[in-house]
Amino acid sequence: MADVHTLLSQLNAQFEACITGAVLALGEITLEVKPERLLDLTIALRDVPTFAFNQLIDVCGVDYLHYGLDDWQTDSTTETGFSRGVTDTLLRENPAKPSRFAVVYHLLSLVHNHRLRLRVFIPDDKELMVDSIISVWPAANWYEREAFDLFGILFRGHPDLRRLLTDYGFAGHPFRKDFPLIGKVEARYDARLQRVVYEPVSIKARILEPKVIRHDNRYLSDKGGASHGQ
């Protein structure tokens, strides 16, 4: 079993053409993978004895909308107080990630006891699609269906890409950051029609803001000048 630094050097040397970068943080390696080289990379990671990543642990989608952006500046919180939460939002101009959506893969080598994370950013100017890795690890089947259902990410070559967690005919993808928290429709059973019907959502959206109590009876003075509780 090589240490994580040796593994990182081996990955960089072997797959320089397949990745755009490699990061070692908190003892974990993350490879930023070029979308067009995903299949080549995963096959090699599985089959090359040096790596032998023979088990897929997880596949998940990520929505980086607003990632790295500030709702308000907090460097001078004590000076601005509550006003920073109700004034105009302050955002950084440049997002912290190269594109909004990504697919993340977690791999395990049972032979070498190594773990590895792959991340593929999907260009914003293209259809949200990456290659399916079912041919490499069949366990990706349901994981990819879940990412399609919740994020709307398509997997090229998937044999049965259907929704997995939401209902048939569900509108939208609920794990996207711009999907409304109250949803878009609500379902109920109609006894007269003897079926489930969908209607516009009746929940009112709320904007959560800190509640500040401007008056507190504990600190109001009575007629004699003494405050209550004293």
Q: What is the pLDDT of residues 11-44, one digit of tens each?
A: 999 999 999 999 999 889 999 999 999 999 999 9
Per 3-state DSSP, what percentage of the chain is helix, strand, and coil (rounded to 5)?
A: 20, 25, 55
C-alpha distances in Å from residue 223, one per residue of 10, 38, 226, 228, 229:
81, 77, 8, 10, 14
Are the C-beta atoms of residues 30 and 117 closer than 8 Å to each other?
yes
Using one digit for the tens of pLDDT, what is the confidence trace for 154-188?
Answer: 999 999 999 999 887 788 899 998 888 777 787 78
Domain total of the chain: 1
Classify residue 71: in a domain, yes or no: no
> pLDDT tens digit string along 190-215?
899 998 888 887 777 665 555 555 56
Residue at 144 is within a domain: yes
Q: Domain of residue 150: give its range.
A: 4-64+99-164
Q: What is the mean pLDDT of residues 118-141?
A: 91
* Closest among 83, 61, 62, 64 to 72, alpha carbons compared: 83
Residue 42 lies inside a defined structural domain of this protein:
yes
Residue 176 belongs to some domain of the structure: no
223 pLDDT tier (thresholds 50, 70, 90): low
pTM: 0.75
- The answer to whether residue 48 is domain-embedded is yes
146-156 pLDDT per residue, tens: 999 999 999 99
Interval 123-128 mean pLDDT:
80
Residue in the structure block whose two tokens are 């190269």: 98
Q: Is it the case that residue 115 has pLDDT exceeding 50?
A: yes
CA distances from 85 to 72, 89, 177, 207, 210 (A): 7, 8, 20, 12, 8
> In sequence order, what DSSP letters do the residues of 44-113 get, joined into one string?
HHHHSTTT---EEEEEEEEE-TTTT--SS--TTHHHHGGGGGTS-----SS-SSSSSEEEEEEEEETTTT
- Is residue 16 situated within a structural domain? yes
* CATH number (domain holding residue 141): 3.30.460.80
Quick one: tokens of 26? Answer: 């908190």
Give 88's pLDDT tier (boundaries 50, 70, 90): very low
Q: Given a cut of 90, is residue 86 above it in pLDDT?
A: no
pLDDT at site 103: 97
